[in-house]
Amino acid sequence: MTSTIVSTDRLTKRYGHRLAVAEVDITVRSGEIYGFLGPNGAGKTTTLRMLLGLIAPTSGSATVLGYPPGAVATTGSIGALIEGPGFYPYLSGRDNLRVMARYRSLGADAVDSALERVDLSTRGADPFGSYSLGMKQRLGVACALLGDPRLLVLDEPSNGLDPAGMADMRTLLEDLAAQGQTVLLSSHLLGEVQETCDRVGVISGGRLLAEATVAELRGATSLLVRAEPAELARQVAVRTVGHDAVHATADGLRLLGGSDAAPALTEALVSAGARVHEIRQVERSLEEVFFEMTNAARPITERTPS
Amino acid sequence: MTALFASTRAELLRLTKWRVTWLLIAVWLTLNVTFVYVIPYLSYRTGGGGEITDGQSPESLLAEMMPTTLAQSLTQGMPLFGGAIMLILGAITVGSGFGWGTWKTVFVQSASRSTAFLGTLVALAVVVVGTVVTTLAVDAGLSVLVAVTEAQPIDWPPATDLAAGVGSGILIFGMWTAAGVLLGTVARSPALAVGLGLVWAMALENLLAAAANLLGGLEPITDVLPGRTAGSLAGSFGGGGTPGVLTILGGGTAGLVLAAYLLAFVVISLTLIRRRDVV
């Protein structure tokens, strides 16, 4: 049985008249990589800050590792990188980690190991102020990894990383999950989330729109059929897979859940005298699902053109 | 207790590796040596009576540089520029953490906000005590040097006087450091905290005291303002006439008022740190 690591109950944060997070309910289970998706200003960071006890909720509650956020009992069990790395600019990367390690009574071994995991060992002696954005981000992740915490909360960990760095980050996250660590990561990089996360929560305008596995969110695959004459093709498709599953689109006919029907449909179209240009399986990307969800949740004037 | 020890070790590491800490201590020591020994000695050698030494006679100037007046030498520069330097240290130590975003990192790493913040306070206390003890050592060395150069006997003050001087120095510096910490916590910015603190310490207190003199009846309030109380504590060891050194309150009363200020500044800062959102 998987245990719950993070759960929130109608978690809400209001700044004056502005509702930053509205009654969010999420559940993060042990050992999973949970992706917290949302456009800029959606409320991701505010939610994560509440989970870390950095800001107090206006209403609602949360438990992290079985305790309220910020509880002393969870010290050493949570590592976090929240809204960019915050370090002393005059200290080297290594000394910054030494300072943070001392807070947890960790020794030099933990610092060296964390630097190695994010490939910063050779630049550890350089001042933090001289680091590139990507290096600062990696140091932030190294700090979160100090002492192998049970739960990692990473807010946009790939910010500022080059493609190789992003690939390394994905590998690191997968390694962590393989070791049984739980990762709660916020991102607006949909490809990264699709490839890395077990489950996702989609938030927009402070409200949680969905929480499901990536596969559940993307839904069943469909068939795209391009054949002429169009009306004949539609009639054949309706006879083959049923009326409700056939949708006419600008690209052609889309048959929901009809991937298994491809051979029979091809044969039926050819038998009926239709000219078949293309029949292929289509999967919705997480990006498509995300834009559908977040556009629907925003005012028409702010919607992303599709 | 273990968590507080861990936080203190962490804060000491970052404070001792910060050039600003050493720069502020060096500035204080330089000013202390300049105004307590260099200028008085030059004035003594040129016959005394100069405006900069308040018209003191050569004998009086020499007497104030001897080892026997070490407690006075130690504390006389503290209420004014020494206090201002410690206020800057407290303000930038706490205030810059908000600008750099280090408080959020520290609060996630540490056992609790309270232990993290108390660790900072203890580390600052170590710096304060270290600075006072170093000042005492430097002053002792220079007073012996002057005594030997001028063929004077080397007589040390009673140990109780010396301990009272060191304790008063720690209290004065501690109060101003805590004031800086409070301003840094309230302003969440080092620049604003330092600016407000210096305006208060260097100008506003004196203006309020002057206004109280004119209006009458307000002196009981202005006499116990932080800077004037620190001046009174320093004044209990002598050195009247030195800028910032006063004889308004007795040493015991001034010490108690300063301790109350220190405690109040710490409690208010800690309460704010515990309760406010870290954004």
Amino acid at site A292: E
Q: How far is CA B35 from CA A22, B59, B75, B80, B114, in A?
A: 62, 17, 12, 12, 39
Q: What are B239-263's pLDDT values in tens digits?
A: 666 777 777 888 899 999 999 999 9
Query: Which residue of A49, A95, A143 is in closest CB contact with B105?
Result: A143
Q: What is the pLDDT of residue A306?
A: 41
Q: Which residue has the higher pLDDT, A254 or B129?
A: B129
Q: How confident is the model at residue B221 (pLDDT cuts 50, 70, 90)?
A: confident
Sheet with A182-187, strands from edge to edge, namely: A78-81, A151-155, A182-187, A33-37, A199-204, A207-213
How far apart are the CA of B277 and the nearest CA of chain A, in angstroms?
A: 4
Q: Do B112 and A72 touch (CB under 8 A)?
A: yes
Query: Which residue of A54, A104, A146 is in closest CB contact with B107?
Result: A54
Q: How confident is the model at residue A296 (pLDDT cuts 50, 70, 90)?
A: low
Q: What is the pLDDT of residue B196?
A: 94
Q: How confident is the model at residue A53 (pLDDT cuts 50, 70, 90)?
A: very high
Residues 6+ apart with CB under 8 A from B23: none
Please report how the helices A93-103 and B102-109 are oriented relative to each other, as an axis angle in degrees rounded to 10. 40
Q: Do A75 and B277 touch (CB under 8 A)?
A: no
Query: Which residue of A86, A88, A102 is in closest CB contact with B9?
Result: A102
Beta bridge partners of A253: A225, A248
Q: Which of A43-57, A67-81, A251-265 shows the lowest mean pLDDT across its residues?
A: A251-265
Q: What are B177-216's pLDDT values in tens digits?
A: 999 999 999 999 999 999 999 999 888 888 888 888 788 7
**Plot region of A148 (φ>0 → left; ψ -120 to 50 → alpha; else → beta):** left
Please report how the helices A133-145 and A163-178 are oriented relative to each other, as an axis angle in degrees rounded to 10. 10
Q: What is the pLDDT of residue A84?
A: 86
Q: What is the ipTM of this complex?
A: 0.89
Q: What is the pLDDT of residue A284?
A: 73
**Phi first, then psi: what are they for A63, rounded to 5°?**
-125, 140
Beta bridge partners of A183: A33, A152
How far apart are the CA of B182 and the nearest CA of chain A, in angstroms?
A: 20
Q: What is the pLDDT of residue A2?
A: 57
Mean pLDDT rounded to a whole number for chain A? 88
DSSP assignments along A193-256, one per residue: HHHH-SEEEEEETTEEEEEEEHHHHH---EEEEEEESHHHHHHHHHHHH-GGGEEE-SSSEEEE
Residues of A in contact with B13 (CB under 8 A): 95, 98-99, 102
Chain B contact present for A128, CB below 8 A: no
How far apart are the CA of A59 and the nearest CA of chain B, in angstroms?
A: 14
- State the burial class of residue A298 (Cβ atoms within 10 Å of its Cβ: 0-12, 13-18, 19+): middle
Q: Indicate if the pLDDT at residue A39 is higher than 90.
A: no
Q: Which residue has the higher pLDDT, B219 or A276?
A: A276
Query: In angstroms, rounded to a whole number, what is the distance separating the alpha carbons of residues A156 and A188?
Result: 8
Q: Which of A23-27, A211-215, B70-74, B98-102 shows the lowest mean pLDDT across its residues?
A: A211-215
**Is-contact A48 A154, C-beta < 8 A?**
no
Chain B contact present for A87, CB below 8 A: yes
Q: Do B104 and A82 touch (CB under 8 A)?
A: yes
Q: How confident is the model at residue A75 (pLDDT cuts 50, 70, 90)?
A: confident
Percent of chain A with pLDDT over 90: 51
Q: What is the pLDDT of residue A192?
A: 80
Q: What is the pLDDT of residue B17?
A: 96
Q: Which of A147-156, A192-201, A219-228, B245-254 shows the lowest mean pLDDT across its residues?
A: A219-228
Q: Indicate if the pLDDT at residue A286 is higher than 70.
A: yes
Q: What are B4-61's pLDDT values in tens digits?
A: 999 999 999 999 999 999 999 999 999 999 999 999 999 888 876 666 667 778 888 8
Query: In angstroms, rounded to a whole number, what is the distance separating the alpha carbons of residues B279 and B274?
Result: 13
Helix (H) or strand (E) holding A18: strand A18-24
Q: Structural domains in chain A? A: 4-217 (3.40.50.300), 220-282 (3.30.70)
Q: Do B14 and A103 touch (CB under 8 A)?
A: no
Q: Name which of B214, B206, B125, B207 is nearest B169 in CA terms.
A: B125
Give the long-range contacts of residues B192-198, CB within 8 A, separation 24 or more: B192/B95, B193/B91, B193/B92, B193/B94, B193/B95, B194/B87, B194/B88, B194/B91, B194/B92, B194/B95, B197/B84, B197/B87, B197/B88, B197/B91, B198/B84, B198/B87, B198/B88
The predicted model scores a pTM of: 0.86
Q: How confident is the model at residue A254 (pLDDT cuts 50, 70, 90)?
A: confident
How far apart are the CA of B102 and the nearest CA of chain A, in angstroms?
A: 5
**Strand A78-81 and strand A151-155: pairing?**
parallel
Q: How confident is the model at residue A298 (pLDDT cuts 50, 70, 90)?
A: low
Q: List all residues of chain A from 249 to 288 with a beta carbon under 8 Å from chain B.
A: none
Q: What are A154-189's pLDDT values in tens digits?
A: 999 888 888 888 888 888 888 888 888 899 999 878
Q: What is the pLDDT of residue B250?
A: 87
